[in-house]
A and B are shown apart, each in its own frame.
Chain A
Amino acid sequence: MDFNLTDEQRMLQETVSRLVSSEYDIETRHRYAASEEGFSRDVWSQLADLGLFGVPFSEEAGGFGGGGVELMVVMQEFGRGLVVEPFLSTVVLGGGLIEALGNNGQREEYLGQVIEGSLLLAFAHGEPDSRYNLQQVETRAEKNGGGYRLNGRKAVVFNGDSADKLLVSARTSGAARDAEGISVFLVDRTAPGVTVRAYPNIDGTHAAEVYLDNVDVGADALLGEEGNAFPAIAKVARRGIAALCAEAVGAMEQAVEQTLEYLKQRKQFGVPIGIFQALQHQMVDMRIALEEARSMAIMAANADQAESPEEAERIVHAAKVIIGQAGRKVAESAIQLHGGIGMTWELPLPHFAKRLVMIDHVLGDTDYHLERFSELMETPAA
Chain B
Amino acid sequence: MNLSYTPEEQAFREEVRAFMREKLPADIQAKVRGGKRLQKDDFVRWHKALNEKGWLAVHWPKEYGGTGWGPIQRHIFEEEMTAAGAPSIVPFGLSMVAPVIIKFGTEAQKQYYLPRILNQDDWWCQGYSEPGAGSDLAAVKTRAVREGDHYIVNGQKTWTTLGQYANMIFCLVRTNPDVKKQEGISFLLIDMDTPGVTVRPIITLDGEHEVNEVFFEDVKVPVENLVGEENKGWTCAKYLLTYERTGIAGVGYAKAALRHLKNVASRQLKDGKPLLDDPRFRAQVAQVEIEVMSLEMTNLRVVASVAGGGVPGAESSILKIRGTQVRQAITDLLRRAVGPYAMPFISDVFEAGSDVEPVGPEYAAPLASQYFNRRKLSIYGGSNEIQKNIISKMILGL
The chain A residues found within 8 Å of chain B, CB to CB, are: 1-6, 9, 69, 260, 263-264, 274-275, 277, 280-281, 283-285, 287-288, 291-292, 295-296, 298-299, 301-302, 305, 315, 318, 321-322, 370-371, 373-374, 377, 379-380, 382
User: Are A377 and B318 interface neighbours, CB within 8 A?
Assistant: no
Q: Is the CB of A380 within 8 A of B266?
A: yes
Q: Are A377 and B294 also in contact (CB < 8 A) when A5-B1, A280-B389 are? A: no
Contact A284 B391 (CB under 8 A): yes
**Of residues 265 to 311 in B, which have CB atoms within 8 Å of A's CB atoms?**
266, 276, 279, 282-283, 285-287, 289-291, 293-295, 297-298, 300-301, 303-305, 307-308
Whether, in the assembled complex, B396 has its beta carbon less than 8 Å from a beta carbon of chain A, the answer is: yes
> Can you list 9 residue pairs at the A/B interface with Cβ under 8 Å?
A1-B303, A292-B294, A292-B295, A296-B293, A302-B3, A322-B290, A374-B282, A374-B286, A380-B259
Cβ–Cβ contact A377 & B305, under 8 A:
no
Which residues in A have their C-beta under 8 angstroms from that of B1? 2-6, 9, 69, 298, 301-302
Inter-subunit contact A2/B398 (CB<8 Å): no
Contact of B396 among A280, A322, A373, A380 (CB under 8 A): A280
Q: Mark B159-179, 1 if CB is under 8 A from A, else 0.
A: 000000000000000000000
B294 A284 Cβ-Cβ under 8 A: no
Q: Are the C-beta atoms of A318 and B395 separated by less than 8 Å?
A: no
Looking at chain A's contact residues, the main secondary structure is helix
Question: Are A292 and B322 interface neighbours, CB within 8 A?
Answer: yes
CB pair B322–A288 under 8 Å, yes or no, is yes
Chain B residues, Cβ within 8 Å of A283: 392, 396, 398
Q: Are A296 and B398 in contact (CB under 8 A)?
A: no
User: Contact: A281 with B385, CB < 8 Å?
Assistant: yes
**Quick check: A295 and B398 within 8 Å, CB to CB?**
no
B393 to chain A, nearest CB (A): 9
Contact between A379 and B262, CB atoms less than 8 A apart: yes
Contact check, B294 vs A2: say whether CB atoms are below 8 A apart. Answer: no
Let me know if A288 and B290 touch, CB within 8 A.
no
- A260 nearest CB across to chain B (Å): 6
Q: How far is the CA of A177 from the CA of B294 in the complex (A)?
A: 32
Contacts of A277 in B (CB 8 A): 389, 392
Binding site for A on B (CB under 8 A): 1-6, 9, 72, 259, 262-263, 266, 276, 279, 282-283, 285-287, 289-291, 293-295, 297-298, 300-301, 303-305, 307-308, 318, 321-322, 385, 388-389, 391-392, 395-398
Given known A-B contacts A1-B2, A298-B1, A370-B286, A284 and B301 have beta carbons under 8 A apart: no
Q: Is the CB of A281 within 8 A of B388?
A: yes
A244 to B135, CA, bound (A): 41
Asked if B300 contacts A1 (CB within 8 A), the reply is yes
Query: What is the minimal beta-carbon distance from B306 to any residue of chain A, in angstroms?
Result: 12
Inter-chain contact A298/B297, CB cutoff 8 Å: yes
- What are the 7 tightest A-B residue pairs by CB atom distance, in nearest-first order? A295-B297, A374-B286, A280-B392, A318-B290, A274-B398, A284-B388, A295-B298
State whether B392 touches A3 (Cβ < 8 A). no
Per the bound structure, the CA–CA distance linking A292 and B266 in Å amounts to: 29
Contact residues in B for A292 (Cβ distance below 8 Å): 294-295, 298, 322
Q: Which residue of B lies closest to A376 (CB)?
A: B286
Which of B3, B279, B289 has the largest number of chain A CB atoms within 10 A?
B3
Do A322 and B289 touch (CB < 8 A)? Answer: no
B300 surroundings in chain A (CB, below 8 A):
1, 3
Chain B residues within an 8 Å CB radius of A302: 1, 3
Is the CB–CB distance between B396 and A260 below 8 Å? yes
A337 to B286 alpha-carbon distance, docked (Å): 31
Min CB gap B308→A, angstroms: 8
| Smallest beta-carbon distance B106→chain A, Å | 38
A319 and B79 alpha carbons, distance in the complex (Å)? 23
Complex CA gap A296/B292 in Å reads: 11
**Complex Cα spacing A284 to B301, Å:** 19
Knowing A284-B391, A298-B1, A298-B3, say if A264 contacts B293 (CB, 8 Å): no
Evaluate contact between B297 and A275: CB separation under 8 angstroms. no
Bound-state Cα–Cα, A4 to B308, Å: 10
Closest to A367 in B: B283
Bound: A295/B289 CA distance, A: 15
Q: In the complex, which of the residues B9, B263, B289, B303 contacts A377, with contact meaning CB atoms closer than 8 Å?
A: B289
A381 nearest in chain B by CB position: B266
- Complex CA–CA separation, A27 to B307 (angstroms): 43
List of A residues within 8 angstroms of B285 by Cβ: 374, 377
Whether A1 and B283, one on each chain, are in contact in the complex, defined by CB atoms closer than 8 angstroms, is no
Cross-chain contact B263 with A380 (CB below 8 angstroms):
yes
Q: A288-B391, A379-B266 are in contact. List 14 more A-B contacts (CB 8 A).
A: A2-B2, A5-B1, A260-B397, A280-B392, A284-B388, A287-B391, A292-B298, A292-B322, A295-B301, A315-B293, A318-B294, A370-B283, A377-B289, A380-B266
Residues of chain A within 8 A (CB-CB) of B291 are 322
